[in-house]
Structure 1
Amino acid sequence: MQKQILIVISIIGLVVGRDINGAGLALIKQQEGWRANYYYDQIGQKTIGYGHCCVWHPCDQLHPPLTEQQGSDLLRADLGEFQNCIQNAAPGLNDNQFAACTSFAFNMGCGAFTGSHILSNIRAKNFNAAANAFNEYTSMGGRVIAGLVNRRKAEAQLFRS
């Protein structure tokens, strides 16, 4: 299992060409939290590890409990598509801007990022407004979610640094 994940990571790394930095990875791990066994996230999706959603990424080959290393490998594999999304939508970001946007896309989806005020401000080269725009995405189902407020604040801080 672990060997398969590492192979996937290697392939994704070749396709993407850019990886999230350590600060971004740490932010995602902190915000997602670690779970060695399956759980259901806030919207009822079967999840494991550091936010690995079994709806989008099948979990058939996983045999919990996972080790933290397996969870980290799984997260790196999952991040490939979001790193690619950010690189394609907003090339030229510095490492922390790229990491903050990757965290946002991992949490909200690539479509949410590409339709966001974050991206429209990046494209307008208004990076202060882009950082402020993270705070617009703190609701789920019409309710402000404390965890999203905290995550968006951390992403905005990373984007600015």
Structure 2
Amino acid sequence: MDLKSKVVGGVVAAAVALVATWEGRSLVAYLDPVGIPTICDGYTHGVKMGDTATPEKCDELTSEEVKKALAVVDESVPRQLPDGARVALASFVYNVGAGAYSGSTLLRKLRAGDIVGACRELPRWVYAGGRKLRGLVRRRNAEMKICLQ
């Protein structure tokens, strides 16, 4: 394995760990705070109430989705971001989705080269279904700290 592969693997592993810390894991589908059927570590694509998953399946889904989120981050800016920013922003995109990220002030600041300003946008993203959620406040503060490292 070459150095670049090791670095990418390390960023993915760190982002998976961050996502897992904040999402929590459920092997049985549940409704998230805004009523979306969810399973594993916040996975929502095609999930129906009554679905179940194994821990191994959850690991696979989370890793695949984190890699997709990281690709969204990496492809959204013209230059390589520091690893801390990539980890934090992959966690953020995993949680809010590529669509919300793509239209954000956070991304506009990133593209302008203002990484610090972009990282400081994270704490604004603490609402779900119009309600401020304490878990999101804590998650965004943790993401911001990692992003600023």
TM-score computed with the length of structure 1 as normaliser: 0.77
Partner of 1:45: 36
Q: Which amino acid aligns with 1:24?
A: A
2 CA distance for matches of 1:78 and 1:26? 13
Q: What RMSD in Å do the two structures reach over aligned CA positions? A: 2.1
Does the alignment pair 1:144 with 2:132?
yes
Contact 1:37 1:66 (C-alpha < 8 Å) held by counterparts: no
Deviation digits for residues 2-34 of structure 1, max 9, x if unmatched? xxxxxxxxxxxxxxxx55433221110011001
Alignment partner of 1:82: what SS?
helix
Q: Flag the structure with more relative contact order, 1 or 2, with Cα contacts below 8 A and sequence separation at least 6.
A: 1
Alpha-carbon shift at residue 70 of structure 1 (Å) = 2.1
1:52 CA drift (Å): 1.1
Distance 1:127 1:50 in 2: 27
Q: Determine which of 95, 108, 112 is the counterpart of 1:120.
A: 108
Matched to 1:101, the amino acid is L
Conserved 8 A contact 1:21-1:96: no
Structure 2 distance, partners of 1:58, 1:142, is: 24
**Pick aligned residue for 2:20 from 15, 18, 29:** 29
| Equivalent residue runs for 1:100-119 within 5 Å | 100-119=88-107
The number of aligned residues is 139
User: Aligned residue for 2:71?
Assistant: 84
Q: Deviations over 1:67-105 (max 9, x none)?
A: 2x3211111122333222111112411222111111111
Question: Does residue 73 in structure 1 map to residue 64 in structure 2?
Answer: no
Relative to structure 1, the CA distance from residue 65 to residue 113 in structure 2 (aligned partners, 3 Å threshold; closer, same or farther) is closer
SS at match of 1:30: helix
What's the % identity of the aligned pairs?
A: 27
1:142 to partner: Cα distance: 3.0
- Asked if 2 retains the 8 angstrom alpha-carbon contact of 1:131 and 1:159, the reply is yes
Deviations 1:118-148, CA, capped at 9 Å, x for gaps: 2111122222211111011112233211111
| TM value normalised by structure 2 | 0.82
Q: 1:159 to 1:125 in 2, by over 3 A?
A: same
1:158 matched residue in structure 2: 146
**Structure 1: distance between partners of 2:130 and 2:53:** 34
